[in-house]
Amino acid sequence: MTRLIEVSGVQELAQNAGIEHLKFFQADVDQLSELAMQVFIKQIRMKLGLKDGHLVAKQLISELRKAAVLGLIPSCPAARHKLELPRLTMDEFRRLVDRFSLMERNLVCFALDTKMNLLDAALVRHDQIKTLIKQNKHTWHDEVAEIVRQTPRHLRCPYVFWALDQDNNPEPIVDMTTRFKSTTGISWSTFEHLVQNMVMIDREQDAREVEQLLGV
């Protein structure tokens, strides 16, 4: 029998991610079920974060499939697991959004609540707000008006969401889509999808429950 940690490429992957101590890697490959893989993926996403956990899981499954094709290990259900886009937790949402300034965070939340793309949301003017809220009263969240109210207003800028340029003149934040990708490492469209399927739980509590389940 071959332990998972003994599969070519797996030990290095686990050590690089700092998770080689997890009991999952000590299991025999032919005893790894798809359920065990699902629990493991959930655990490392909470330990490593959404992006890095997803990447490690993808690489692990790739190593298992390659080893099975080469005849080094028997094919196992864990290697056949279909890796779906991870679900975002509330804690992870806060961690991502907190990387931005108050004005940028308000723009992000406004775009999410109104389901507008970032550029359109960035170009919303104060003189449009009342009309837009009235027109979308059945689809927009109640928080939209509150986001606008809490956003600092500039007397010389008609736009709700603004930033100062190099000459200290206010301008709309029209480059937010690019800035979001460079700051978080994920595209705005991917982030929107994650938020739509967000898990409303506390990450640390969830991690403790999974670790208790696995006995680690």
pLDDT, tens digit, for every residue of 146-168? 999 999 999 999 999 999 999 99
Q: Crossing angle of helices 90-97/102-114, nearest 10°?
A: 130
**Is the predicted pLDDT of residue 180 greater than 80, yes or no?**
yes
**Is the predicted pLDDT of residue 214 greater than 50, yes or no?**
no
**Which residues are within 8 A (CB) of 16 and not within 5 positions of it... i.e. 6 or more apart?**
none
Helix (H) or strand (E) holding 90: helix 90-97
Strand partners, 199: 89
* pLDDT value of position 141: 79
> Residue 171: pLDDT band by 50, 70, 90 thresholds?
very high
Decide if 24 contacts 36 (C-beta within 8 A): yes
Residue type, 68: A
Residue type, 130: K
Decide if 148 contacts 210 (C-beta within 8 A): no
**Is the predicted pLDDT of residue 120 greater than 90, yes or no?**
yes
- This prediction's pTM: 0.60
**Is the predicted pLDDT of residue 216 greater than 50, yes or no?**
no
Of 162, 112, 116, 108, nearest to 135 (Cα)? Answer: 116
> Residue 70: pLDDT band by 50, 70, 90 thresholds?
confident
Q: State percent of the chain over pLDDT 70.
A: 90
The DSSP output letter for 9 is T
- Rg over alpha carbons for the chain, rounded to the nearest Å, is 22
SS3 1: coil
